[in-house]
Amino acid sequence: MTIAMNYEAIQVQKTGATAQITLNRPALRNAMSLQMVAELQAALVALEADKSVRVLVLRGAGGHFCAGADLQDMASARMRALQNPPASTQASVALDAVAQVNAQFGDLCVAYAQTPLALVAVLEGSVMGGGLGLACVADVALASESAVFRLPETALGVVPAQIAPFLVERLGYSQAKRLAVTGGRLNAANALAMGLVHAVHAPEQIDAVLAAVLAEIQACAPGAVAATKALMAKARLCEPASLVQEAARIFSRAAQGPEGLEGIAAFLQKRKPSWAQP
């Protein structure tokens, strides 16, 4: 059974344990407006609270993932901030307004990067700027051969500010810096070779591949997936020796908890485990 949730700039559909969030401004190649950012945040909060949801899928409508920020939205925010303030403060007020808009998108990236739910991105057509940042926070990034990746900020005189940490995390410092200083453009094969995406498939195969990945994720215990994501996020910033005792406690809780007991019993009994919701 598929259940739809009502938004304007995005579409959300739940089918079983999977929720698909579709960026839905196809006429603008799903450029990210302030409304879309707010709706993506709200949808994530609602889906994380729904204990029946285990996996999020992010994709775009109309054959494109996301063409980056809606620059008209940014300009409108600046103009609204400039209306009626004292002349001496106009420049600083406008700057603060633009910073607030940018920070809202940064908060969105952090929220999706830190979600305990498994996150899969399906990348087609334009994957630019902020859209590229969202691709980098996904646990699994599946690209169509149609995907074209761009980091155009420096060519526009701006900075890939909020996505920079996620680019460095996914690609490493050297490759992230190279893309930034060249206004980088990659096809799907290049993105795969760099590790930006995890797989590339023909457009007509992408839905079948997505279904197979979702089945693999749902064969894993949801609580264990969430705990593993949190531990790996911490491990990338810590020396291994500093995590030994904490990792041991996490393992012990999992092994002696309902998922660990069910997983071991299912293995010994040669059956598929039945995972309860975390």
CATH number at 161 reads 3.90.226.10
Residue-level pLDDT at 138: 98
- Judgement on whether residues 102 and 229 belong to the same structural domain of the protein: no
- Judgement on whether residues 80 and 23 belong to the same structural domain of the protein: yes
Distance CA 13, CA 105 (A): 23
- Judgement on whether residues 206 and 230 belong to the same structural domain of the protein: no
Cα-to-chain-centroid distance, residue 83: 35
Mean pLDDT along residues 232-248:
95
pLDDT digits (tens, 9 = 90+) for 150-180: 999 999 999 999 999 999 999 999 999 999 9
pTM to 2 decimal places: 0.91
Domain residue limits at 192: 2-217
157, containing H or E segment: none
pLDDT at 88 over 60: no
Mean pLDDT along residues 230-257:
96
* Residue 277 covered by a domain: no
Residues 6 or more apart whose Cβ sits within 8 Å of residue 174? none
Cα-to-chain-centroid distance, residue 16: 21
Residue-level pLDDT at 140: 98
Strands (E), the chain: 2-5, 10-15, 18-23, 55-60, 118-123, 126-128, 140-144, 148-150, 185-187, 199-201
- Judgement on whether residues 157 and 238 belong to the same structural domain of the protein: no
Q: pLDDT grade, residue 93 (50/70/90)?
A: very low
Mean model confidence pLDDT for the chain: 92
Mean pLDDT along residues 127-146:
97
- Judgement on whether residues 247 and 199 belong to the same structural domain of the protein: no
- How many domains are there within the chain? 2
* Residue 108 covered by a domain: yes
Domain boundary among 176, 202, 217: 217
Distance CA 207, CA 210 (A): 5
Which residue do the tokens 């057509």 mark?
125
Task: Look at residue 95 and give its three-state secondary structure.
Answer: helix
Distance CA 108, CA 9 (A): 15
Q: pLDDT grade, residue 101 (50/70/90)?
A: confident
Cα distances (angstroms) measured from residue 251 to each of 139, 194, 233, 240: 21, 32, 16, 15
Distance CA 175, CA 149 (A): 14
